[in-house]
């Protein structure tokens, strides 16, 4: 069988440098190129989703409806979440997995390179579908208003939405296919592609973190796919899954969504825990404290994460038994999470620490993610949650969980690996400025939301009572500063790609401590094809 479109380049296909032109990227089967594309896609979506956040904060700067109509506001809230979760954090983490896992375990590439390309290129197509869903009310007048359900897509509102909801549903299908295929690839790579001697218990923590992440995705992504498929059938084909008049139940959708949605939190979190497991020992110059306990802890977290979903739904009227079960299960989560944070603190204990940018982010994660953990325990307690439910307190809680927990971990990873990826050292002074700028402005943004939430300000509403004005003004100013800091982030990345001090093979002197990956045995940047002959790990 001939490959019809791969025409004239065929004769030099044994050349081991990268192919030239656009085909290098579009047809790529190289884990480094695909990883790079994932990371740039995530960077683009960071600004896309960030622009939506800027709109939200501008709208909430003062009470009253300022900029656009409430439906548009709710549409922005919905798509800010979808873009940040599926378009930014997951692709960024997947990009790091693509780049680093084969290098760490001494594999020549991902196990299934063409599938890897498919996983990536589904993402821009899904993003296009999501953009169509935003534009649908304007492109197809009379086809219904914007998607205004929030990212949970709860019926009956999502059944009443217009064509935009159908675009959203199929965007989610494409994102889901992409995640499942990427996860299959990552699990297979980890299980089958390790170099001789690289046993499972010698793998860097990042690889373990992605192993559990990928298993979670394989288990829960199909559940979301099934749920939105039923939504589509209820919308267009007359079924009554989520309509009590026909014997269905809108609550059923909530259960399905959160059966996916809660493990999704750990999907976002675990890769960053994996990055922490490299950054903290490197800059504390001590082996990871309790490596095995951390691995088992992540496994326990993954399993527990799958059986506590209904703590997002305490107010729906579950039976007392179910409510108690979900409360206790949720509070149990603090055991593996606490274990992880304690292990990182003990790793730093009496280490000879230095505070480069990745380490600063690492320490900030431990502090601020603990804060999310504490508010998380508050929210897990049923009677208390009845008060906090659907207030800005919840918004503050999960932004403390997801920005320090997931996004700062990705920043730490970017600064930790930029020298390896580009071959240049980033500007340490600018990196530190970026760290303090984001950390301070992040706290200015989200800390006041605890107070406005406890005082009763509801989330997902365009307008608010005049008593919350000060908190929201502080929050908005912080938000604009936080948004602005990312221009510096972009500048640092471009600057590092274009030049700078040459990075040595081992840019961090502590990186060889504990369970190092094999990426440090390669030059910076590594050659286009690495480990074509498997190295042997002693």
| Residues in 123-152 at the binding interface with another protein, rule: CB under 8 A | 125, 128-129, 132, 140, 143
Please identify which residue in 184, 366, 497, 522 interacts with another protein, judged by CB under 8 A.
184
Please identify which residue in 135, 201, 244, 386 interacts with another protein, judged by CB under 8 A.
244
Please identify which residue in 63, 150, 248, 504 interacts with another protein, judged by CB under 8 A.
248
C-alpha 426, offset from chain centre: 23
Please choose, out of 49-57, 189-197, 406-414, 514-522, the segment that lies near another protein by the rule CB under 8 A: 189-197
For position 4 contacting another protein by CB under 8 A, the verdict is: yes
Closest by CA position to 267, among listed 92, 391, 447: 92
SS3 502: strand
Please choose, out of 82-90, 177-185, 369-377, 505-513, the segment that lies near another protein by the rule CB under 8 A: 177-185
Phi, psi (rounded to 5 degrees) for 424: -125, 150
For position 47 contacting another protein by CB under 8 A, the verdict is: no
Pick between residue 218 and residue 293 the one whose CB is nearest to another protein: 218
Please identify which residue in 8, 138, 245, 498 interacts with another protein, judged by CB under 8 A.
245
d(CA 144, CA 141): 7
Minimum distance from residue 259 beta carbon to another protein (Å): 8
Minimum distance from residue 524 beta carbon to another protein (Å): 22
Please choose, out of 117-125, 145-153, 462-470, 517-525, the segment that lies near another protein by the rule CB under 8 A: 117-125
d(CA 525, CA 248): 56
Q: Cβ-count burial of 17 within 10 angstroms (0-12 exposed, 13-18 middle, 19+ buried)?
A: exposed
Please identify which residue in 74, 185, 475, 530 interacts with another protein, judged by CB under 8 A.
185
Task: Report cis status (omega within 30 of 0) of the bond before 156.
Answer: yes
Provide the mask over 27-46, with x wherever binding to another protein is found by CB under 8 A and - wherever it is not.
Answer: xxxx----------------
SS3 391: strand
Pick between residue 164 and residue 351 the one whose CB is nearest to another protein: 164
Helix, strand, coil content of the chain in percent (nearest 5):
70, 0, 25
Phi, psi (rounded to 5 degrees) for 480: -65, -40
- Between helix 291-305 and helix 334-348 the angle, nearest 10°, is 160
Three-state SS letters, 457-478: CECCCCCCCHHHHHHHHHHHHH
**Interface with another protein in residues 206-225 (CB under 8 A):** 218-223, 225
For position 183 contacting another protein by CB under 8 A, the verdict is: yes
Rg (CA), the chain: 23
Residue partners of 352: CB distance under 8 A and separation at least 6: 284, 285
Is the distance from CB of 91 to CB of 84 less than 8 angstroms?
no
Please choose, out of 182-190, 272-280, 353-361, 505-513, the segment that lies near another protein by the rule CB under 8 A: 182-190
Residue partners of 310: CB distance under 8 A and separation at least 6: 255, 258, 318, 322, 323, 326
Is the distance from CB of 430 to CB of 490 less than 8 angstroms?
no
Minimum distance from residue 351 beta carbon to another protein (Å): 38
**Interface with another protein in residues 71-110 (CB under 8 A):** 107-109
> DSSP code of 112?
S
| Number of residues located near another protein, criterion CB under 8 A | 84
Pick between residue 75 and residue 168 the one whose CB is nearest to another protein: 168
Pick between residue 154 and residue 345 the one whose CB is nearest to another protein: 154
Please choose, out of 91-99, 238-246, 342-350, 506-514, the segment that lies near another protein by the rule CB under 8 A: 238-246
For position 249 contacting another protein by CB under 8 A, the verdict is: yes
For position 3 contacting another protein by CB under 8 A, the verdict is: yes
Minimum distance from residue 170 beta carbon to another protein (Å): 4
For position 22 contacting another protein by CB under 8 A, the verdict is: no
**Interface with another protein in residues 300-339 (CB under 8 A):** 317-319
d(CA 16, CA 19): 8
């Amino acid at each position: 069988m001939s490959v019809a479109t791969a025409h004239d380049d065929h004769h030099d296909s044994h050349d081991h440098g990268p192919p030239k032109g656009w085909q290098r990227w579009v047809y790529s089967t190289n884990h480094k190129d695909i990883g790079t594309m994932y990371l740039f896609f995530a960077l683009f979506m960071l600004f896309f989703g960030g622009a939506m956040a800027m709109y939200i904060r501008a709208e909430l700067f003062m009470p009253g409806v300022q900029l656009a109509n409430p439906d548009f506001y709710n549409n922005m809230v919905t798509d800010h979440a979808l873009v940040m979760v599926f378009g930014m954090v997951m692709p960024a983490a997947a990009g790091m997995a693509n780049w680093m896992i084969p290098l760490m375990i001494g594999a020549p590439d991902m196990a299934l390179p063409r599938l890897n390309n498919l996983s990536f290129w589904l993402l821009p197509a899904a993003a296009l579908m999501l953009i169509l869903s935003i534009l649908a009310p304007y492109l197809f007048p009379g086809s219904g208003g914007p998607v205004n359900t929030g990212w949970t897509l709860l019926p009956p509102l999502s059944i009443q939405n217009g064509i935009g909801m159908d675009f959203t549903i199929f965007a989610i299908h494409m994102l889901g296919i992409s995640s499942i295929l990427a996860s299959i690839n990552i699990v297979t790579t980890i299980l089958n592609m390790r170099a001789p001697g690289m046993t499972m218990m010698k793998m860097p923590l990042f690889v373990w973190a992605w192993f559990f992440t990928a298993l979670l995705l394989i288990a829960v992504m199909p559940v979301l796919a099934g749920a939105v498929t039923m939504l589509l059938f209820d919308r267009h084909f007359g079924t009554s899954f989520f309509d009590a008049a026909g014997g269905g139940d809108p609550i059923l959708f909530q259960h399905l969504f959160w059966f996916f949605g809660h493990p999704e939190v750990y999907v976002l979190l675990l890769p960053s825990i994996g990055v922490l497991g490299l950054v903290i020992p490197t800059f504390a110059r001590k082996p990871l404290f309790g490596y095995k306990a951390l691995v088992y802890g992540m496994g326990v977290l993954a399993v527990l994460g799958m059986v506590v979903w209904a703590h997002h739904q305490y107010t729906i009227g579950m039976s007392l038994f179910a409510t108690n079960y979900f409360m206790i299960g949720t509070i149990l989560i603090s055991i593996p999470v606490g274990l992880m944070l304690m292990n990182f603190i003990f790793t730093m204990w009496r280490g000879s620490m230095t505070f480069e940018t990745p380490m600063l982010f690492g320490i900030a994660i431990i502090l601020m993610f603990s804060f999310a953990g504490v508010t998380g325990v508050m929210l897990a307690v049923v009677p208390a949650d009845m008060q906090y439910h659907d207030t800005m307190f919840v918004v503050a809680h999960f932004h403390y969980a997801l920005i320090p927990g997931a996004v700062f971990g990705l920043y730490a990873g970017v600064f930790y690996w930029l020298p390896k990826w580009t071959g240049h050292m980033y500007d340490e002074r600018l990196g530190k400025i970026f760290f303090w700028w984001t950390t301070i402005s992040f706290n200015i943004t989200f800390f006041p939301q605890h107070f406005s939430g406890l005082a009763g300000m509801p989330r997902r509403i365009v307008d608010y009572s005049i008593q919350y004005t000060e908190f929201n003004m502080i929050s908005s100013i912080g938000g604009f500063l936080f948004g602005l800091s990312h221009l510096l982030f972009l500048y640092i990345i471009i600057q590092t790609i274009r030049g700078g001090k040459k990075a040595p093979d081992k840019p961090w002197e502590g990186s060889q401590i504990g369970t190092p990956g094999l990426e440090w045995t390669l030059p910076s940047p590594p050659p286009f094809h690495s480990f074509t002959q498997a190295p042997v790990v002693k």
